[in-house]
Structures are given as C-alpha cells and as structure tokens.
Structure 1
Amino acid sequence: MAFGLPVLGTDAGGTKEIVDHNVTGLLHPVGHPGTQVLAENLRFLLKNPSARKQMGMEGRKKVERNYLKKHMYKRFVEVLTRCMRSR
C-alpha cells in the first residue's frame, strides 16, 4: 500500500485488519481453497487497470493517514497524555 499498489492477501490475522477488501486490495481465503480466489483476484486486477489504480491510491492514503511516523508519534503522544490524565 505504501507504494500505491493494491494488496493481495489472506482474509486472516492482521492482513484482514489492514487491507480493506475491494478498497485497498483484495482478500482470499487461507489454504488450498483460497488459491482459486487468489487467481480470480489476480485476473481481476490484470483486466481492470482503473480498479488497480483506485485501490492503489486508497491504500496509499490509508498508509499516510495511519502509519507514517508523524501520525504514529502523534498517536503515541495522545496515548501517553490519556494515561497521565487518568492517574
């Protein structure tokens, strides 16, 4: 997502928490059953350059909004401030 590209990943664990299906990328089931869906997702992205571009842009926006250092530092300060106030 940081490179402005759509993500292909499994719909398990942290991946499904980070990748928004049909927004920042495409998810598929884990294991052998997921191979067919992964292939379909790859074909979709290959045949739909506008969808690739849109998902890539949305992914980059999400990275900028949630994961760049300046945002992480800001959130860290907010957490520390809340902890100090609750004492």
Structure 2
Amino acid sequence: MLEKELLTTIVELCNVQEDVPDDFPMDSPLVGPDSLLGLDSLDAVEIVVMVQDVYGIRIDTQDQAREILSTVKSLADYIREKGGIKSISD
C-alpha cells in the first residue's frame, strides 16, 4: 500500500522520534501544529524533495505543496494521479 510506504519513508526521512502506531490515520494532518508526527515546514521541504527524487514528480508551488502534503492519503493520491513510480506492494 503506497500510504504505508510513504509513512515509513517520511518517519525515517524526518527522524520522527515517537512510535507510529500500525493504525496511524492516513487522513490526519501531516504537517503543522496538528501533525501527529510533529512535522513542520522544514520537514515538508524534505518530503517534497523526496517525492521528486523517488517518484519523479515535481511539486512546484508552496500552495500546491500545502494541499498535497495535507495528509499521507492526499500525498499518495497525488502520486497516483501524476503516474509516479508505483509501490511494489500496490
């Protein structure tokens, strides 16, 4: 499942210290004060770069990034929509 793959990558990339539960809600806020992972705008930049490197998809504007990175689900949906490299487990 692409969402699980993204979550694992984001946790590692952003050095999330908290244990992430197996039933992590994929529609919870990803970045900002309500983020269950404690991610901030610097983490968002790292995620945008990772999406470009791993999936070959550009996120061009800050407004676009804010919308796409609102949740893990929205990020996965965007990658699927843009035809990024598919997860092996999909």
TM bucket (normalised to shorter chain) is 0.3 to 0.5
More helix by share: 1
TM-score normalized by structure 1? 0.34
Q: Which has the higher strand share?
A: 1
Larger radius of gyration: 1
TM-score, normalization: structure 2?
A: 0.33
